[in-house]
Structure 1
Amino acid sequence: MRPNRFDGFCDACSVHVAAGGGALTGLPGQWRTWCLACSPQPPERGAHDGWHRLPLASLDLETTGVDPHGDRVVSYALLDEPGFEITGLVNPGVPIPAAAAAVHGITDAMVAAAPPPADALAVVLDWVDTLVQRRVGLVVFNACYDLTMLRAEAVRHSLPQPDWDRLLVVDPYVVDWGIERGQLGQRRLVDVAAYYGVSVDGAHDATVDARAAREVAVELAARHAEVGGTPLEDLMTHQRAWYADRAADWNSYARRVGRELDDPDGWPLTG
């Protein structure tokens, strides 16, 4: 959801809503205006059991850009069982573009003395492999970006890789789309976190984002029994289907406006 930019009337109660005084949801051509009292809210937490009551790991990467195949990792955060947290900087071996540094605040000077990718990312890949062996779910917001980036770095530096096909992934970005079908508008991590009451203090810091993603995943499962009560192995199947649906939805728009198409089979790894 986002604030409404123009005056309108609440879709639920028809009260007048001044610009900036309510919320806006929906898709282009199908916008809906809400007063604050009527704006969509998530359901209450349920008492059901599910994977949200089990240990969950979380991963986030900060990078040199938005191309998961060609850009490089500059920092990582690995969150596992309580008390386990590994974070680090990576010297990518290439300049960090100013646009990327403006987002995450990591500069060339900051990574000059950091380990090279072959050393730093070997730790990350080994940890992911332990999750596969332990059958622990890994939370990654927009997993097809981070995991594709990690795999590309592994190939680039000839590093051992985990069995990606056996990795259990929980992607709050995809799960949220499966629930809401895009009807709540833009759903970046900060948007989904705000909707579910999860604090994000310092977005685009790998540790902050990894922690917020895991908390959002737990809220999604706790508030939607059909999600939380689904075994992680089956949730993988659902997420692939939801991602394919989201890609089809995006591609119908992208074809009209000449934008790049998404691969409907690109979750949790693209290409």
Structure 2
Amino acid sequence: MAWHDGPLAALDFETTGVDPRHDRVVSFALIDGDATREGLVDPGVPIPAAASAVHGLDAEAVRGAPRSERVIDDAARWVDGLVERSVPLVVFNAAYDLTMLAAECRRHGLREPEWSRLVVVDPFVVDWGLNPRLRGQRRLGDVAQRLGVVLENAHDALSDARAAADVARAQASDPRLAGLSVKELMERQRRWHAAKAEDWNRWARQNNRALDDLAAWPLTR
């Protein structure tokens, strides 16, 4: 059975910044078939102006929203439900969003999902694996546009999650992916992430920049 023959779920977070181990979730979307859950989150910390400029959410927007602990607990339980049902989870740039979820769970003393059994489909990593020499940006909007997928409202969690799932389905038509099993896809993505990280690291060593972790997919613990 190929990885895309059954249902696909999708997840997206909007956050207070770019460091998944220290920043916080401010909005979320969880898609599982026809069931969709989305909402705002009170992160319990100020939302920097730079983050608000990206997703449009500020302190006023999240005033009265559920506290982070409640939303993160629900999201972690939802992910574990996918694990039990063997439903692949689509996350664009999974190393960011899933590391964020793991860090938020630890921050609140919550049980983390069973990461070792989770099947992840990461269109960001897949795009690199299929097109390693492609120049330019690989943001969700860039990859979606290349594949003819509509992204209606970038940096809205629900719009991004839907577009990521549509991108994954579009990528599934590539003959290099179409026949892969879940296990084969996971192994392929780990190799692609490592190759992408090493490609960056060659440049980073020459330019005194931080190195990427070759094993930091689908998340960093």
Do they fold alike, i.e. is TM over 0.5? Answer: yes
Q: Which has the higher helix share?
A: 2
- Structure 2: tracts of 5 or more residues without a match: none
Count of residue pairs the alignment pairs up: 221
Q: CA RMSD in A?
A: 1.1
2:63 is the alignment partner of 1:112: yes
CA drift of 1:211 comes to: 0.3
d(CA) in 2 for partners of 1:144, 1:172: 12
1:230-265: CA deviation from partner (whole Å, max 9, x where unpaired): 111221111011000000000001111111111011
Give the AA of the match of 2:196.
Answer: R
Matches within 5 A, 1:24-173: 50-82=2-34, 84-173=35-124
The structure with more radius of gyration = 1
Q: Percent identity of the aligned residues?
A: 55
Q: Is the 8 A contact 2:144 2:150 kept in 1?
A: yes
- Of stretches 165-174 and 119-128 in structure 1, the one that deviates more from structure 2 is 119-128
Q: Residue 146 of structure 2 corresponds to which residue in structure 1?
A: 195
Give the AA of the match of 2:20.
Answer: P
2:136 is the alignment partner of 1:185: yes
d(CA) in 2 for partners of 1:53, 1:140: 18
Q: Residue 270 of structure 1 corresponds to which residue in structure 2?
A: 220
d(CA) in 2 for partners of 1:63, 1:182: 30
d(CA) in 1 for partners of 2:138, 2:71: 31
Q: Residue 242 of structure 1 corresponds to which residue in structure 2?
A: 192
1:157-196: CA deviation from partner (whole Å, max 9, x where unpaired): 0112211010000000001111111424321111100000
Q: Is the 8 A contact 2:2 2:182 kept in 1?
A: no
d(CA) in 1 for partners of 2:60, 2:136: 38
- Of stretches 49-58 and 237-246 in structure 1, the one that deviates more from structure 2 is 49-58
d(CA) in 2 for partners of 1:169, 1:102: 29
d(CA) in 2 for partners of 1:103, 1:167: 29
Q: Is the 8 A contact 1:247 1:264 kept in 2?
A: yes
Q: Is the 8 A contact 1:75 1:90 kept in 2?
A: yes
Instruction: Report the TM-score when normalising by structure 1.
Output: 0.80
Q: Residue 41 of structure 1 corresponds to which residue in structure 2?
A: none
Q: Which runs of 4+ in 1 moved over 3 A?
A: none
- Structure 1: tracts of 5 or more residues without a match: 1-48
Secondary structure at the residue paired with 1:245?
A: helix
CA drift of 1:129 comes to: 0.4
Q: Is the 8 A contact 1:50 1:221 kept in 2?
A: no
Secondary structure at the residue paired with 2:150?
A: coil
d(CA) in 1 for partners of 2:103, 2:154: 24
d(CA) in 2 for partners of 1:182, 1:143: 21
Q: Residue 32 of structure 1 corresponds to which residue in structure 2?
A: none
2:168 is the alignment partner of 1:228: no
Instruction: Report the TM-score when normalising by structure 2.
Output: 0.97
d(CA) in 1 for partners of 2:41, 2:13: 10
CA drift of 1:202 comes to: 0.9
CA drift of 1:144 comes to: 0.4
1:216-236: CA deviation from partner (whole Å, max 9, x where unpaired): 0000011x1221211112211
CA drift of 1:50 comes to: 3.2
